[in-house]
Amino acid sequence: MKKTNGRSFKVTCEKGYYVFKLEKLLKENNMSKYSLAKLLNTEYKVINRYSHGNLTKFDSKVIARICNACNCRIEDFLEYVNEEEEMILNNKEKV
């Protein structure tokens, strides 16, 4: 796991990486992880895992509840980047 900036975490996987941006989203919504956990009626550690990318699996119910509570879409707090596609795009931009 690697912190990409003050509010996002990068987690590498097989052919790319995930960027977890929940902390950034919460800051934009003036909400804490604790208040989101209370709002979702879930444990703080679950929200913390989605915040830092310390997950073993994605729970679609938790993701849907986060989206509803923050009035957002999945890509607002969770992004998958395919490294091969990223390299191709970067090479095209250099040309």
CA distance 62 to 33: 14
Give residue 47's pLDDT. 96
Q: What's the CA angle centered on 24, arms 80 and 18, to 5 degrees?
A: 15
Give residue 77's pLDDT. 93
pLDDT band for position 62 (cuts 50, 70, 90)? very high
Stretch 46-50: mean pLDDT: 95
The reply to whether the predicted model has a pTM over 0.85 is no
Identity at 57, one-letter amino acid code: K
Question: Do residues 77 and 64 make contact, with C-beta atoms less than 8 angstroms apart?
Answer: no
79 backbone dihedrals φ, ψ, rounded to 5°: -135, 140
- On the question of pLDDT at 6 being above 90, the answer is no
CA distance 95 to 93: 6
**High-pLDDT (> 90) share of the chain, %:** 60
